[in-house]
Structure 1
Amino acid sequence: MNTSEVVVDRIYALCKERGISVNRLCTISGMTQSTVSDIANGITKNPGVITIKKLCDGLDITLGEFFSTKEFDELEQEIK
């Protein structure tokens, strides 16, 4: 898996844990549906920290909690 796939999986997992849809996450995060959809559909490959922070605020978690998973820990450096 690459970084963008892990971010997408994490967003879906957090929504599932909370019993909310991605659309609901948009609303509670104060973000447009297109922005979150582009991330969730892999169109946006590298969402910025500010964008992830807004999602975290909507989910009531910290950035540390968002990234504190085995999947993020096991990512290898992506060389472009």
Structure 2
Amino acid sequence: MNISEATAKRIIELCNDKHISINKLASLSGITQSTVNSIVNGGSKNPQLKTILKICYGIEIPLYEFFKSPVFQNIDIDI
């Protein structure tokens, strides 16, 4: 799994945990639904940390909690 796939999976996990839709997440985070959809659907190969931080603010978790997930273990690094 690469970083963009792990990020997408984590966003979906958090939405499920918080019982919110991608649309609601976008609204809470102050970012467009198309941006969140692009990350979740794999269109965004390099999601910006600033966008992830906005998502964290929207669902009221600290940034470190976003990355504190097993999905970020054993990430394939494409250099």
How high is the TM-score relative to the length of structure 2?
A: 0.93
> How far did 1:77 drift?
2.7
Runs of 5+ unmatched residues, structure 1:
none
Runs (4 or more) in structure 1 with deviation over 2 Å come to: 76-79
Q: Amino acid of the residue matched to residue 4 of structure 2? A: S
Runs of 5+ unmatched residues, structure 2:
none
Q: How many residues align?
A: 79
Q: Amino acid of the residue matched to residue 75 of structure 1? A: I
Q: Amino acid of the residue matched to residue 21 of structure 2? A: S
> How far did 1:69 drift?
1.3
Equivalents in 1 of 2:24, 2:3: separation in Å?
24
How high is the TM-score relative to the length of structure 1?
A: 0.92
**Equivalent position SS for 1:9:** helix
